[in-house]
Amino acid sequence: MEQPVDGAEDGAARRTEPRGADLRHRLAALAIVAVCVAWTLGAALRPGMTTVAGNLLASIAPYSSVVAGPGAEQKTGQSDVVFHFYPYFVELTRAVSRGELPLWSPAAFSGTPFLVSVSWAHPFFWSSLVVPGPRFYVILVFLQALLAAWFTYLLLEAWGADRPGALTAAVAFALSGALVVWRGHHVATVLAHLPWVLYSTLRLLVDPRGATFAGLVVSCALVLLAGHLGTAAHVLWIGAIYVLWHLLVELGGTWTARTTAVGTWGLAMALAFGISSVQWVPFLEYHANSARRHHDGLVTDQVPVTGQPGRFLRSVSVFLFPDLMGSGARGLDGVAALSTGRSVNTELAAWVATPTVLLAIVAVLRRPRSTVGPFLAALAVLSFGVGKEAPLLATLGVLVPYRPDRFACFAAFCAACLAGLGVTRLGEAPGWRSRWATAAWSLLAAAALAALACAWLLGGPARERIATLLDPFVVSSFQKASADEARNSPLDWRRDRVRRYLSEGSRAVRVPLLLVLVTTALLAGLSSGRVAVAAARPVLIGLVVVGHIHWASGWDPAVPVRWVFPETPAIEYLKSRPGPFRIVGHAGTCMPNAAMVHGLEDVRGYDALEIHRYHRLLDLAGKAWAPWRFEASLLQIGASPVLDLLNVRYYLYPERRRDPGLRLVFGREVWIYERESARDRVFVVPRVRFVATADRAFELLADSRFDPLGTLIVEGDPDPARAAGARGEVRSIEVERHRLRAVVTMDRPGYVVVSIPFYPGFGATVDGAAVPIRAAYGALQAVPVPAGRSELVVRYEPLSFKIGVGVSVLSLVALCAIWLIWRADRPGRGARGRGRAEDRPQVTTGRTGRRDALE
């Protein structure tokens, strides 16, 4: 006998209700998610508190004197939020309040393209203009969770889940590790759009019309505008895989209709990229000039498709059959990430078998009546194989394999959706596979509980034996520092990690293990018929909710707003000094990007990208902390002529030091020294030397015998009129965000140096006449000026931003035109303009061939 579509009976019942009833149920589900999120945030919701981890500043001068007291040692949360994103949003709100669109920021890296580093075009971040300061991030956390929950609920309804099942999936994904661990981060904003992208894709494929087309375009455009293009690319790839799945498995109708549906989807993707051009066109320009060869999955030097056949076959095998104890998500780490995103080193046994995962397994093991369950299960499993050492995507020349926890985020979404389908299908008669699976999970949960109890109570030799037994499972691919430590002494390190877990972490798994045992008992009772579905379903949903709330509570710190980059006496002293000037801190003193918050300018920065020329120049000034990322974030510095060229007047150190050329001017919570030899923002060098390439310029700067303060290095063909050098004076320097003005007096034609990074988009005028800008010292700007007195103006007017705006506007116009044409062309083709039933795409359920009535 043919089985009906998942949830078809419930869907038919819902269609007899008024439309307002559906809306009320969905809003109620959203309210439940909001309450759960509020519960996990706890004290961060109180007035004067925030989730921005300002307590990280407790060990950083000059903030350690202010950030102290109860709570300073609590769990930190996202360091990227406090050191990277929060300063950018402070800069954004400050600029907008002044009526400026901040295309350039002078506060970090001696100047950097601003809009490519902040998700200014996404509506979520406009709330920072309404609620400025650290409290904005509390609102952002709610927006991310509610968006994920709303469209997960709608998607599960479209896939045939009933209301309890849709609610289960919404809570499980909104409080999954993928979204909780990355709260406030751009990664979470992108991931929150994944259900919307899949829901819009499904609506368009089943019911192609103007509204569904516009919904898909808007959802994908917002993904690209959310600011993390690497994760955005992965989300859009998931959408493409879902389209392919529909094309091959679920779409009925003629091949012409299928081709039309896929072509419509492709047009929607093109318009989405066009609308988001205002963000990614300037980003691509920045990426082309950056110091990194790849950025979170977007590669510059890709592996060609025509590589060795053996490498390609190995890539396919790793992708399809990942080694769960080897590369990728490292086995149990990947399974644990299904519902939490945490690694095996912290929550070994409990998070492997959460109620969410158990309900997901119920959905997989029941007799499939549609292809949604197998699709989600396959996607979850494949997510494990796309880790650091799985070269399939790099071989295809699409994305660089990186950060396996990002791919595990998609597994978390799949587990949440499968759990919702599992709740929907609890009432079905279980098959032999379900009974065996329930028994197996019961034994596994009992064994895990017994092992942890023995290790916790007995200790000593028993703990050693269990550590040896679990040794193969304990290599984490999520923590690079630990992996480096493991390479030095792998066996001792692994056993030590297990011992620490069994002695300290076992206390943290008591509640999760209790939830697992209760869930397993309920599923066993359902399989045997001893427990009624009506009684078990609300309890199982409650276990899912409690499980996620339990682990997510306390993940984010509750920090007083006054701890987030407070104004200390040292900061007030620097702000009182006449400018323009730049500062630099030794190691982590006055963390990079802090200058954005305080209205200062720093030669360092905390960002995933950095101008390549500037990176090479700064390397000559000191040793960077991490050569692959945040290159100038923790610079080990001393007084340097290179920093003199960069207008660095004040040096900040955590301790007192003796350095010739530095004069102590402040010595309380941090030691501030002044460098009197620092050059102004615009200055003249008496001699000039021309070089053919930037490499030659950096070679000269690296030579200790070369004096960069006495000889200017200009890149390009020699200029005979200015080859002899010149002397001059610079006065009346006015520095604005996008404009620099100075009055220059020269004794003969020559060059003046503008201490701003050499980057596309800058233009210069001398007495109103445009002049070319050449590279000085390989990374700064050299502007030719005539003899006598002249006015120099340097402006930043990037062509990439103008192109991006133009393409975005044209794409929006095209979207409106297509929607209006579609609306005018289909008014009389059925109640909702769907056309003839035999011509449009239809959702089938594989062997049954029944159509899914999508509501």
What pLDDT digit, counting tens, does each position of 501-530 carry? 445 444 555 676 677 778 878 887 877 778
Specify the pLDDT at position 444: 56
The two tokens of residue 532 are: 């009624």
Half-sphere exposure of 66 (CA within 13 A, CB side): 21
Tell me: pLDDT of 69 over 80: no
Calpha distance 22→28 (Å, rounded):
10
Q: How far apart are CA 346 and CA 61, in angstroms?
A: 31
For residue 596, is pLDDT > 50?
yes
Helix ranges restricted to H, 651-737: 694-702
pLDDT of res. 157: 92
From residue 669, how far is each of 59, 239, 257, 568, 674 by CA, in Å? 12, 52, 71, 8, 16
Taking the C-alpha atoms of residue 797 and residue 337, their distance in angstroms, rounded to an integer, is: 45
Cis ω on the peptide bond leading into residue 62 (within 30° of 0)? yes
Most confident of the following: 88-102, 148-162, 342-356: 148-162
Answer whether residue 852 shows pLDDT above 90. Answer: no
Q: Going by C-beta distance under 8 Å and a sequence separation of 6 or more, which residues neighbour residue 550?
A: 511, 512, 515
What is the reported pLDDT for 681? Answer: 95
Q: Model-level pTM greater than 0.75?
A: yes
pLDDT at 376: 84
pLDDT band at 407 (very low <50, low <70, confident <90, very high): low
DSSP of 839-853, one letter per residue? TS--B--TTS-PPP-
Looking at residue 699, its pLDDT comes to: 93
Q: What is the mean pLDDT of the chain?
A: 74
User: Can you name the residues that pair with 739 across neighbouring β-strands?
Assistant: 795
Predicted pLDDT of residue 606: 82
Structural domain boundaries in the chain: 687-725+739-796
Q: Lowest-confidence range among 40-54, 256-270, 549-563, 614-628? A: 614-628
* C-alpha distances in Å from residue 650, one per residue of 646, 679, 769: 11, 12, 35
**Predicted local distance difference test score (pLDDT) of residue 300:** 32
Q: How confident is the model at residue 693 (pLDDT cuts 50, 70, 90)?
A: very high
> pLDDT confidence of 576, banded at 50, 70, 90?
very high
Least confident of 198-202, 615-619, 798-802: 615-619
Choose between 17 and 412: higher pLDDT.
412
b/e burial code for range 531-566 (CB count within 10 A of at least 16 → b): beeeebbeebbebbbbbbbbbbeebbbbbbeebbbb
pLDDT at 834: 43
Q: Give the CA-trace dihedral at 744, 774, 113, 632, to 10 degrees.
A: -100
Q: What is the pLDDT of residue 55?
A: 79
Backbone angles phi, psi at 16, to 5 degrees: -85, -15
The SS3 of residue 665 is: strand
pLDDT at 66 over 80: yes
Average pLDDT over residues 683-690: 94
pLDDT at 178 over 80: no
Please report which confidence band the pLDDT of residue 683 belongs to, taking 50, 70 and 90 as the band edges: very high
User: 447-456, 579-588, 688-697: which has the highest mean pLDDT?
Assistant: 688-697
Instruction: Evaluate the CA torsion angle 217, 220, 223, 227 in order and state its sign.
Output: negative
pLDDT tens for 84-121 read: 888 988 998 888 888 888 899 999 899 989 888 777 88
CB 607 within 8 A of CB 290: no
Q: Which residue has the higher pLDDT, 356 or 804?
A: 804
The helix/strand/coil state of 547 is helix
Q: 441-451 pLDDT, tens per residue?
A: 556 556 655 65
- Tell me the pLDDT tens digit for each residue of 478-506: 333 344 444 444 445 445 544 554 454 44
Question: For residues 764 and 783, is the Cβ–Cβ distance under 8 A?
Answer: yes
Q: For residues 739 and 334, what is the distance between their CA atoms, to the nearest angstrom?
A: 50
- pLDDT grade, residue 281 (50/70/90)? confident
Cα-based angle 329, 333, 337 (whole degrees, multiple of 5): 95
529: helix, coil or strand? coil
pLDDT at 134 over 50: yes
User: What is the pLDDT, as a whole number, of residue 773?
Assistant: 95
- Beta strands per DSSP E along 253-308: 294-295, 298-299
pLDDT of 837 over the 70 cut: no
* Phi-psi label, residue 647: left if phi above 0, alpha if psi -120 to 50, beta otherwise: left
pLDDT of residue 147: 95
Predicted local distance difference test score (pLDDT) of residue 418:
87
Say which residue, 412 or 480, is predicted with more confidence: 412
Look at residue 356 in the predicted model and tell me its pLDDT. Answer: 76
* Contact status, residue 518 vs residue 404, Cβ threshold 8 Å: no
Main-chain dihedrals φ then ψ at residue 652, nearest 5 degrees:
-110, 130
The position carrying tokens 């301790």 is 655
8 A C-beta contact, residue 525 and residue 536: yes
- In the 3-class helix/strand/coil scheme, how is 738-774 assigned residue by residue? CEEEEEEEECCCEEEEECCCCCCCEEEEECCEEECCE
Query: What is the arithmetic mean of pLDDT over 604-627?
Result: 75
Query: Is 135 a residue whose pLDDT tops 50?
Result: yes
Assigned token pair, 472: 């193969």
Helix (DSSP H) and strand (DSSP E) numbers for the chain = 32, 23
Q: What is the mean pLDDT of residues 190-195?
A: 93
Is pLDDT of 3 > 50?
no
Question: Which whole number is the average pLDDT over 715-737?
Answer: 88
Residue 21 or 748, more confident = 748
Please write down the HEC assignment for all residues of 434-487.
HHHHHHHHHHHHHHHHHHHHHHHHCCHHHHHHHHHHCHHHCCCCCCHHHHHHHH
The more confidently predicted of residues 184 and 147 is: 147
Nearest to 592 by CA among 619, 558, 624: 624
Lowest mean pLDDT among 183-197, 566-580, 732-746, 825-839: 825-839
* 20/187: higher pLDDT: 187
Mean pLDDT over 266-270 rounds to: 93
Mean pLDDT highest for which of 180-184, 459-463, 682-686, 847-851? Answer: 682-686
Alpha-carbon distance of 345 to 499, in angstroms, equals 10
Task: Give dist(CA 158, CA 199) in Å, integer.
Answer: 8
| CA distance linking residue 125 with residue 143, whole number of Å | 10
| pLDDT class of 637 with cuts at 50, 70, 90 | low
Q: Are 559 and 52 spatial neighbours (Cβ–Cβ below 8 Å)?
A: yes
Give ∠ CA 106-112-117 in degrees, rounded to 5: 115
* Per-residue confidence (pLDDT) for residue 184, from 0 to 100: 84
Q: Check residues 809 and 445 and name the one with the higher pLDDT.
A: 809
Share of the chain above pLDDT 90, in %: 28
The per-residue DSSP string of 148-182 comes to: HHHHHHHHHHHTT--HHHHHHHHHHHHTSHHHHHT
At residue 795's C-alpha, the angle toward residues 790 and 799, to 5°, is 140
Whether residue 297 has pLDDT greater than 60 = no
The stretch 694-705 carries a mean pLDDT of: 92
The model's pLDDT over 421-475, given as tens digits with 9 standing for 90+, comes to: 888 888 665 554 555 555 555 565 566 556 555 554 544 454 444 444 443 333 3
